[in-house]
Amino acid sequence: MTPGVRPLIAGNWKMHGLSADGLALARAVAAGGAGLGAELLVCPPATLVAAVASAMADGPVAVGGQDCHAAAKGAHTGDIAAPMLADAGARFVILGHSERRADHAESDAVVRAKAEAAIAAGLTPIVCVGEPEADRLAGRAEDVVAAQLAGSLPEGFGAAGGVLAYEPVWAIGTGRTPTEADIAAMHAMIRARLVAAFPAQGAALRVLYGGSVKPSNAVAILAIPHVDGALVGGASLVAEDFLAIARAAG
């Protein structure tokens, strides 16, 4: 953890959840989320953002989106704009997740434009970075992530209190995680880059770890320096597992 920084435990539900089970999950998280030291966030599919935000109104859990378009409105069939997410009750939005970068060919420039749009709409961007396994094995992991940072973060990221999420691509949904030493080294590099890019805010911006975070490894991961929370995938779909990870954050 970074001293003086409140940890954030964010759940990315991905493409899971219909009305009944999504609302049941949201209410279970909200019921167990009071009084925890960490800030809690759930990011349901776009179809559920408004309903989940309404169900969690005035509660201890924030709501976010999983993506937004770079434009505030326009002829972009199937997309959702940042102001629409904010209007639905979202406060955060995940951007540049590896699944978006891979499945939709999103470049760093696209992620940067989306982050600018999110900030303009009053949302806090959670910008994701991470290396594929081939780059990790070739010793290029830090170079790849540093390049993503340089290309994906807009000038206003620091002032907006943006969140950075490091997710090694090869660990997402696989049950595999890097060593604690590898996580520590990457998060230290990210922190140094954030401080250099945003001198006034970089030391206090939250850097999350994501990639097969679960109750059994959360305590160890969240104790690593510069790990200020977690971006949780599969475990966020089970309320007790998600809450157990949140409790591990203190």
Q: Is 11 annotated as a binding residue?
A: no
Residue 233 is labelled as binding a ligand? yes
∠239-245-249 over CA atoms, to 5°?
140
Specify whether 187 is catalytic. Answer: no
The reply to whether 14 sits in an annotated binding site is yes
Q: Which of 106, 167, 187, 226 is catalytic?
A: 167
Q: Is 19 annotated as a binding residue?
A: no
Is 234 annotated in a binding site? The answer is: yes
DSSP state of 219: H
Q: What is the largest CA-CA distance in the chain?
A: 48
Residue type, 69: H
Find out whether 35 is annotated in a ligand binding site.
no
User: Would residue 97 show up in a list of annotated catalytic residues for this protein?
Assistant: yes
First and final C-alpha spacing in the chain: 10
DSSP string, 55-81: HTTTSSEEEEES--BSSSSSS-TT--B
Query: How many Cα atoms occupy the beta-carbon half-sphere of 36 within 13 Å?
Result: 26
Sign of the dihedral defined by the CA atoms of residues 229, 59, 23, 52, in that order:
negative
Task: Name the active-site residue from 39, 69, 97, 131.
Answer: 97
Q: Which residues are annotated as a binding site for substrate?
A: 12-14, 173, 212, 233-234
Q: Which residues are annotated as a binding site?
A: 12-14, 173, 212, 233-234
Residues involved in catalysis: 97, 167
